[in-house]
Amino acid sequence: MASISLLEASIAILCFLILFYLLFKKPHDRFPRNWPVVGMLPRLLVSLHQLYDYGVEILEISDLTFLFKGPRFFGMDMLFTVDPANILHIMSSNFSNYIKGSDFQDVFDVFGDGIITTDSELWKNLRKSYQAMVHHQEFQRFSMSTMISKLKDGLVPLLNHFAEEGTTVDLQDLFGRLTFDTILILITGSDPRSLSIEMHEDELAKALDDVGEGVLYRHVKPRDHVEAAELDGAGAREEDEPS
């Protein structure tokens, strides 16, 4: 008889715990239980269909700050907070205490040496530059006129069209297109017009979605597994190249 691998045993235990949780959980027990080995992952999987609503509920009952415990050895432990005092402490008054470090930079390397990935003096200089731009009266006027134009000439006519046609609309996609068009106009001065009746797919928007998926993958996947996959991919590419 072939021996059971650690991965197979882990999957079997995870399936059992999820089934046990679904069958015996109390209806009023909304707070996620920290299970051995798998952490709070079963509760997260059960709530995927209403993840945002459930996240708001958990933050409300946990005094606006919640520590999510993921499966052991998977590096999925995360601290969530919407407490204004915490956000001010982390993002402004004591920012120097929260160094992002090399691991953070590896995850978000696609953003280069921008304000998202930098620390210390470089971050302060970038922050001052962005603040000077955002608070400039000309930029504020341009931002306001751009948003009003997009709402008046883009979103409202499009919603009217869908209402007249009786078409079902994905609001998340719709407002995502509104945000994408507005930001591109502010940054480049060019309107990609993804917010249109045709609802065409923009290559840059698709690329940004792929970037977001890759960043999420790096968050939830153990680092050694990611590196092994990248090395396997590099090896496969080398074999495909003609000698």
Written as six digits, the tokens of 113 are: 């040496």
| Geometric angle at alpha carbon 175, from 174 and 179, rounded to 5° | 125
Q: Which stretches within 135-222 are classed as H helix? A: 137-150, 156-165, 171-188, 203-220
Instruction: Please state, in angstroms and rounded to a whole number, the distance separating the CA atoms of residues 141 and 100.
Output: 34
Contact 218/226 with Cβ under 8 angstroms? yes
The residue type of 137 is: Q
Q: What is the pLDDT of residue 1?
A: 42
Q: Which stretches within 25-50 are classed as H helix? A: 41-46
Q: Is the dihedral of CA 177, 183, 185, 187 positive or negative?
A: negative
Query: Which residue, 6, 9, 7, 38, is CA-closest to 21?
Result: 38
User: Residue 80's beta-bridge partner residues?
Assistant: 66
Contact 40/68 with Cβ under 8 angstroms? yes
Work out whether strand 65-68 and strand 78-81 pair parallel, antiparallel, or are unpaired. antiparallel
Instruction: Please state, in angstroms and rounded to a whole number, the distance separating the CA atoms of residues 34 and 219.
Output: 20
What are the average pLDDT values for consecutive 10-residue runs of the chain, which has 243 residues? 61 69 55 83 82 89 91 82 93 85 85 86 88 92 94 93 91 92 92 89 90 82 54 51 51
